[in-house]
Structure 1
Amino acid sequence: MREIHDAKTLTSFLDSATTLANVVLLNLDLREHATALRALDVRDGVLLGCELEPTDLADVVLRGALVFPRIEGLPYEPWRSALYTPDELFSGFSADDPCTYCDTLDARVYAHFRATGGADEAPMLEAFARRLHDHGITEALESLLAKHEQVVAFMGGHSMRRDDPAYLAVARMAAELAADGMLVATGGGPGAMEAANLGARFAKADDAELVSAVRMLAEAPLYKDRDWLAAAFRVRDTFRSVLAKSPTPTLGVPTFFYGHEPPNAFASWHAKYFANSVREEGLVSLATQGIVFAPGSAGTVQEIFQDACQNHYGTVRGMVSPMALFGVRHWTEKLPVLPVLAQLSRGTWEDRVVTSDDPRAIVEFLRAQGPRKLDRASWSYCGAFCRE
């Protein structure tokens, strides 16, 4: 079905259309177009979250259109059709007063999320609205990914300090890969995720400028620090002209499930979900060029084995994607996942796993390897015992 999301496209469509069949009008103000709608055959047309006067709404329903009305009283738009930007999520925030974050869209949606059940059972209408929202985010994300053939993800701990040497190392790796033309994606949060989004934004800047930016950020090293977000805004302001000269896109995929951690201010876009399970699986799946796993804790370990499972069974486009574990001691002693990965990958995709302390080795590994087709058996229960 054709989807129409904006007023300009709608006007052009109505100028020549005779039927609304197989057309979806999404989150549009149709009150000025009521006359044009009355002239259309609206059967098999769909209106999602559109505004119409009551009499005009009744008319299109009686003539055969499928209508889902707007859901009022929410701080977010259920019929959303675009990714968020940091400027939208943080609108109203001032670095001079970090408490202004509480008035931002990001904070208001999280407060509403908690007040309506959080990750537990939400009221039916709220649960429905969240799922509509997340579906729209997924569609917008897929549209973005269609423009980027190579996507590399960075995952790691949200508690990584900005003054940790690993933070700068992650930023530098992301900068190099983004300079190669890869879209750098992260979980959109603080710590290692912020480092990668920051590095990608500085892909075409001088390394000295990236180092200077990290030093400024390190004045508020942890996401729990009062000035954590303010420091990021000061960096954006200080280096605005540098970033504007050669903007490099980078993606965050955060979640309101972890809304106590604000998203970082350096992603170009945030695909922010309510459902963390959808976000986790999607983030691991989109990284066809590979994933860098920086030091982290339980969440990063979960992501490692989600990626390993996808590689093992070839569930994402039948491909095996590289897994680069940054921090030998962390992944072999502190959280020894490497022996399990070695056993899982033996004989099939062990060539797509590396562990190293050397950022240059990680970058070269991802450049050299890339995704590889995995031979998958075509057996199915129906095909084996019955006619397909």
Structure 2
Amino acid sequence: MVDRMSPSRPSHHKGPVRLKGRQLPDTTTDQRLLDSRGDADWVHTDPWRVLRIQAEFVEGFGALAELGPAVSVFGSARTRPDDPMYAAATDIAAKLCEAGYAVITGGGPGAMEAANKGASECGGVSVGLGIELPHEQGMNEWVDLGVNFRYFFVRKTMFVKYAQGFIVLPGGFGTMDELFEALTLAQTGKVTSFPIVLFGSSYWGGLVDWLRATMQTDGKISPGDVDMLHVTDDVDEAISYFVAKDR
């Protein structure tokens, strides 16, 4: 019987990885680091991306760790200043501020800008979590504490980790993505006591009806899952519902 751990078969340890046979390297990691400048392609490799992902988590955690109670407010970047939902977002953020909450948005234009404006003008903490996009948007001028991310999944972690819940205004795919991420985390118990308010019944009513009449009826979700969503057209009701659920 051949002893595969025999010293006659050399091995090499590369951090936690053990290499043998044809996998043995010709040089050590330190040699490759110090002996040659090489090209810059390595900055686009997956191991290097892991370090950048780690750095983004560290930066986000460090920036937001002392934020205190906060609410993530979502809505379309395409909401225009003359849209009633722009005014609603501003009012919602101001009243969240008065209730002692910081306001977190995606930091962009539209409903996000409106919410940041409401929080900033109120004297509260106005947070923007930006994302690198092919067509750069940049942070809106009402963001007082801004963090830019390369990776959506890191940014999404920050939206949930540092918020007591979500208030969601009419929006597109990005808004839907954040909404259903939160619903899934709440449904599976990954987050607890996480109020979700949908503001604008004419916009959200059809979706909620479909969830109840189709998804629930077909047994794809449990009775009561849809009740995690509270739909309203009243700013004061949105705030009072949120505060009551959070406390």
TM-score, length-scaled by structure 1: 0.48
1:340 to 211, 221, 224: 211
AA partner of residue 161 (structure 1):
R
Q: SS state of the match for residue 152, structure 1?
A: strand
Judged with a 3 Å threshold, the aligned counterparts in structure 2 of structure 1 residues 345 and 150 are, in CA distance, closer, same or farther, namely farther
Aligned pairs (5 A) from 1:105-254: 123-126=41-44, 131-204=50-123, 248-254=124-130
Aligned pairs (5 A) from 1:1-388: 123-126=41-44, 131-204=50-123, 248-257=124-133, 259-287=135-163, 289-316=164-191, 319-333=192-206, 336-337=207-208, 339-340=210-211, 343=216, 344=221, 346-347=223-224, 350=227, 352-370=228-246
Quick check: 1:328–1:357 contact (8 Å CA) kept in 2? yes
Judged with a 3 Å threshold, the aligned counterparts in structure 2 of structure 1 residues 345 and 283 are, in CA distance, closer, same or farther, namely farther
TM-score, length-scaled by structure 2: 0.73
Quick check: 2:70–2:102 contact (8 Å CA) kept in 1? yes
In 2, the alpha carbon distance for the partners of 1:263 and 1:152 equals 18
Judged with a 3 Å threshold, the aligned counterparts in structure 2 of structure 1 residues 179 and 345 are, in CA distance, closer, same or farther, namely farther
Judged with a 3 Å threshold, the aligned counterparts in structure 2 of structure 1 residues 176 and 346 are, in CA distance, closer, same or farther, namely same
Judged with a 3 Å threshold, the aligned counterparts in structure 2 of structure 1 residues 176 and 330 are, in CA distance, closer, same or farther, namely same
Instruction: Show structure 2 runs of 5+ residues with no match.
Output: 1-29
Quick check: 1:137–1:271 contact (8 Å CA) kept in 2? no
Quick check: 1:312–1:345 contact (8 Å CA) kept in 2? no
In 1, the alpha carbon distance for the partners of 2:103 and 2:234 equals 19
AA partner of residue 303 (structure 1):
E
Shift, 1:345, TM fit: 6.5
For each residue in 1:310-368, what CA deviation from the matched residue of structure 2 results, as whole angstroms up to 9, or x when unmatched?
Answer: 0001113xx130000011011123xx145427944734683x42101111111111111
Judged with a 3 Å threshold, the aligned counterparts in structure 2 of structure 1 residues 133 and 251 are, in CA distance, closer, same or farther, namely farther
AA partner of residue 260 (structure 1):
E
AA partner of residue 223 (structure 2):
R
Shift, 1:131, TM fit: 4.9
Cα RMSD between the aligned structures?
3.0
Find the counterpart in structure 2 of residue 25 from structure 1. none
> Greater strand percent: which structure?
2
AA partner of residue 55 (structure 2):
G
Q: SS state of the match for residue 246, structure 2?
A: coil
Quick check: 2:208–2:226 contact (8 Å CA) kept in 1? no
Shift, 1:176, TM fit: 1.1
Shift, 1:267, TM fit: 1.1
Runs of 4+ in 1 over 6 A off after TM superposition: none
AA partner of residue 121 (structure 2):
F
Quick check: 1:153–1:186 contact (8 Å CA) kept in 2? yes
AA partner of residue 106 (structure 2):
G
Judged with a 3 Å threshold, the aligned counterparts in structure 2 of structure 1 residues 163 and 183 are, in CA distance, closer, same or farther, namely same
Judged with a 3 Å threshold, the aligned counterparts in structure 2 of structure 1 residues 134 and 264 are, in CA distance, closer, same or farther, namely farther
Find the counterpart in structure 2 of residue 243 from structure 1. none
How many matched pairs?
207
In 1, the alpha carbon distance for the partners of 2:103 and 2:52 equals 24
In 2, the alpha carbon distance for the partners of 1:345 and 1:250 equals 36
Q: SS state of the match for residue 253, structure 1?
A: strand
Judged with a 3 Å threshold, the aligned counterparts in structure 2 of structure 1 residues 124 and 162 are, in CA distance, closer, same or farther, namely farther
In 2, the alpha carbon distance for the partners of 1:341 and 1:130 equals 41
Judged with a 3 Å threshold, the aligned counterparts in structure 2 of structure 1 residues 261 and 188 are, in CA distance, closer, same or farther, namely same
In 1, the alpha carbon distance for the partners of 2:222 and 2:133 equals 32
AA partner of residue 340 (structure 1):
L
